Homo-oligomer: A and B are copies of this chain.
Amino acid sequence: MSKKIKLGILGGGEDSLIGILHRVAANMFDRFEVVGGVFSRDFKESRQFAEDLGIGSKKVYKDLDQLIEGESKLPADERIQVVSILTPNFLHFSMAKKLLENGFHVICEKPLTTTYGEAKILEDTLNNAKTIFAVTYTYSGYPMIRQMKEMIAAGEIGEIQKIDIQYYQGWINPIIHNEEQRNSIWRLDPEKSGISCCIADIGTHAFHMAEYVSGLRVEKLLADLNYMYPDNKMDVDGTVLLRFSEYVKGVLRASQTATGEENDFTIKIYGKKAGLKWGQESPNYLYKIEEGQPIKILKPGHGYNSALSLDGTKLPPGHPEGIFDSMGNIYKGVAKAIKGEEYHPGEFPGIKDGARGMNFIEKVVASHAEGNVWVSLDN
């Protein structure tokens, strides 16, 4: 009998991009086995999808309630142990809550919920449940991000004095400039998507990365969002001034109207001794710069890399790994946690990271709405 962890998935059916990303990641280290779930609201389609995946439809359910009921009846070693939530954002909260209350481990896509309030409730639920909970800030699994995090923690760049993060995309242009489209797409409809578009979708990735890599926490922020048209209800672009402490400042720039940009997510951190720079589109190159020294480019898989970084690299230097491998590393960490193996706290983001992201989104929108003023995060 397979010793792999039994994984159920909510959403992610058919041509879902997030679906294939999670499945490949789950399979990557032979630790998980996708066994079923609810892939689609249409039960028939859901079953067909499972057949196409070659996993049979035995563990495909009509909805989450039936999944919980069905699985709970089974002996422990036949049961789905962990569920990945890949459904639209507004469903995350209720699904995660139910799963936790019924003893399942959970892997949840970001943003964790649609409000910070929900996120706080979920944190309480998890505290009682004591299962494993991961939020997939995918980019934090890249080996060179882990390397950057550990170099900073080890003092290699000295005390941090400046953080500059950018997440630029251009895909929303054809939508935002079309009156009909911008007033009909779910992404720009607050009822379906919460209070923010750009900041919630990509700004949170940037915010999480800034804190994850630096080990610092944002104290307060001042945001300037762009809605582009009077009839548009959600931000599609924003710049956020960050204050980590009185003299440690940062700036976060996120945009879905940076025409022509694909997924240009970069982070630059400057310490008293050196700077570190990384960009998601060429994720295997980490730049270390120091006054009066040659620029250094660190790559994955080398003896000079940290243990956490090396644990996330499968092949020798020069064999580029990518975003699937990054997500694979997050799943690997979750597997270790579920199996009770030792793991590094940086291997996967948890519920606190997810809740913090929600806090960030709400504060950004508030800062802008109040006239671009400083507002404090919960700390």
Contact = CB atoms under 8 A, between A and B. Distances in A.
Interface string A34-68: 10000000000000000111111000000000000
Given A228-B247, A237-B162, A271-B259, A292 B304 contact: yes
Interface stretch (A78-86, A261-269, A344-352): A261-269
Contacts of A3: 51, 54, 56
Interface string A100-111: 000000000000
B320 A323 contact: yes
A261 B289 contact: yes
Contacts of A299: 262, 294-295
Nearest to A271: B259
Given A290-B259, A291-B170, A316 B272 contact: no
17 contacts: A4-B54, A21-B315, A27-B27, A27-B28, A161-B259, A164-B253, A258-B270, A258-B275, A259-B273, A259-B275, A259-B291, A260-B275, A280-B320, A295-B296, A295-B299, A321-B324, A324-B324
A235 to B, nearest CB: 11
B27 A54 contact: no
Interface in A10-25: 17, 20-21, 23-24
A274 to B, nearest CB: 6
B30 A53 contact: yes
B241 A259 contact: no
A128 interface: no
A270 B275 contact: no
Give me the 6 closest cross-chain CB pairs, A-B, nearest first.
A263-B318, A260-B289, A262-B318, A4-B54, A322-B322, A27-B27
A338 to B, nearest CB: 13
Interface string A346-379: 0000000000000000000000000010100000
Interface of A: 1-4, 17, 20-21, 23-24, 27-28, 30-31, 33-34, 51-56, 157, 161-162, 164, 169-171, 173-174, 177, 222, 224, 226-229, 237, 239, 241, 247, 249, 251, 253, 255, 257-264, 268, 270-275, 280-284, 288-299, 302-304, 314-325, 328, 372, 374
Nearest to A18: B315
Contact of A171 (B55, B291, B296): B291
A182 B56 CA distance: 53
Given A257-B270, A317-B263, A239 B247 contact: no
A202 to B, nearest CB: 11
Nearest to A282: B282
Contact of A297 (B1, B173, B297): B297
Nearest to A250: B239
A275 B27 contact: no
A225 B328 CA distance: 41
A102 B70 CA distance: 43
B260 A290 contact: yes
Q: Name, among A24, A34, A227, A302, the residue most crowded by chain B CB atoms within 10 Å (CB to CB).
A: A24
A171 B302 CA distance: 12
Contacts of A173: 272, 291
B275 A170 contact: yes
A273 to B, nearest CB: 7
B226 A247 contact: yes
B55 A2 contact: yes
A328 B314 CA distance: 15
A94 to B, nearest CB: 28
